Structure 1
Amino acid sequence: MAKTPALVVIDMLNTYDHEDAELLIPSASRAVPAVRNLLAQARERDVPVVYANDNFGKWRSHHGELLEAALASPHADLVEPIRPDESAYFVVKARHSIFYETPLAYLLNSLDVTGLVLCGQVTEQCVLYSALDAHIRHLPVTIARDAVAHIHQDLAEAALRMMEINMSARIVQAADAFR
């Protein structure tokens, strides 16, 4: 495969049946169209798409079951427009970072990935920690500002600034993520 960035969709396959969900849902609703835009751009450019998702504590589940649970939830409208297609890769994560105790680094290396475009939720948690772990691995990071969702807007703004200043992340709109 040619050297390329990868699009990583973080924790967007969600049932929104958790603490802080009511604070997250409005922001996720605003992010979904931009995530859909990123997915379309990635597919058009043959950019690998990786969904990195919590497993809701169901360690015997696989990505199909996680998707089914999210689509059966009252907030399926936040999942349906951005559901994985057959070409998408899937990594189950246990904690905040997409890299922590997952095979993601191996997958990215096998795909000859040279950088990451991150989108998803939660900006001030999983997106921030994933960007830090990518930075530590010398992978350039782009964050699509309009394609990330937050629980606390002030912390999300601080997290975006930290990623930009401390990790040299590019903070852009989804329309400019692959430029």
Structure 2
Amino acid sequence: MGKTALILIDMINPYDHEDADLLIPSAKSVVPVLAGLLERARAKDVPVIYVNDNFGEWRSHHGELLDQAVAGPHADLVEPLRPDGSSLFVVKARHSIFFETPLNYLLNEQGIDRLVLCGQVTEQCVLYSALDAHIRRFEVVVPRDAVAHIHADLADAALRMMERNMGATLCESRELWD
């Protein structure tokens, strides 16, 4: 096994989008899990990469996205996951963390071949990112308790698809970096 990176998908979020009311309860349950994962990954010098929607703003600086998210009514879902000085940040426009982003280049430059995908939304961005990672021959790990969903039944199906069709390893977050 080579080098691993922790990828946080779309967690810098103002939660003002169409499905936010359905997503927020699940996000609330994963934020403490993600905060623990971040702490353990950073303690082990595991690279942390935030890949985040730009919400149509097309700003290249993650600070503006972060400021907007923590200024909103759901700052409690963002503040515990704040990027630190060693975190990398990639802005994306669509569902997959790879679509039209420099992420593949960045991962190759860093010698990373194993991705721990977490964040939101399980049945959308996490699923499509897992597929794109699989196609690019990355090893994919998805901690079940570290991904938030809009629809629980679709999230369960997405996790099964990631495991069965993409060879992803499903685990619990406590199994990582103990």
What are the superposed Cα offsets for residues 116-158 of structure 1, whole Å, 9 maximum, x if unpaired? 0010000000000000000001101000111100000000000
Alignment-derived partner of residue 9 in structure 1 = 8
CA drift of 1:40 comes to: 1.0
Cα distance in structure 2, aligned partners of 1:174 and 1:82: 15
The two structures have a TM-score, normalised by structure 1, of 0.96
Task: Give me the whole-angstrom Cα distance separating, in 2, the residues matched to 1:34 and 1:141.
Answer: 19
Q: Which residue of 2 aligns with 1:157?
A: 156
1:50 and 2:31 correspond: no
2:147 is matched with 148
Q: Which amino acid counterpart does residue 62 of structure 2 have in structure 1? A: H
Give the SS at the match of 2:96: coil
Q: Which residue matches 2:94?
A: 95
Q: Could you say which residue in structure 2 is the equivalent of 1:38?
A: 37
TM-score w.r.t. structure 2 length? 0.97
Give runs of ≥4 in structure 1 deviating > 6 Å. Answer: none
CA contact (8 A) 2:44 2:177 kept: no
Partners of 1:158 and 1:109 in 2: CA distance: 30
State the alpha-carbon separation in 1 of the partners of residues 59 and 113 from structure 2: 32
Unaligned runs of 5+ in 2: none
Is the contact made by 1:117 and 1:177 (CA closer than 8 Å) also made in structure 2? no
User: Counterpart of 1:64 in 2: which secondary structure?
Assistant: helix
SS at 2:108's partner residue? helix
Q: Which amino acid aligns with 1:138?
A: R
Counterpart mapping for 1:79-118 below 5 A: 79-118=78-117
Q: Provide the aligned length of Structure 1 versus Structure 2.
A: 177
SS in 2 for 1:98: coil
Structure 2: how far apart are the matches of 1:154 and 1:178?
Answer: 29
Structure 1 residue 61, shift from structure 2 partner = 4.9
In the aligned structure 1, how far is the partner of 2:140 from the partner of 2:60?
A: 30
Is contact 2:142–2:171 with CA below 8 Å preserved after alignment?
Answer: yes
Q: What corresponds to 2:77 in structure 1? A: 78
Identity %: 67
* Counterpart-to-counterpart distance in 2, 1:34 and 1:168: 23
Shift of 1:178: 4.3
8 Å CA contact 1:143, 1:177 repeated in 2: no
Number of the residue aligned with 1:131: 130
Instruction: Tell me the distance in 2 between the aligned counterparts of 1:91 and 1:146.
Output: 23
| Aligned equivalents of 1:177, 1:117: Cα separation in 2 | 9
Aligned 8 A contact 1:135 1:141 in 2: yes
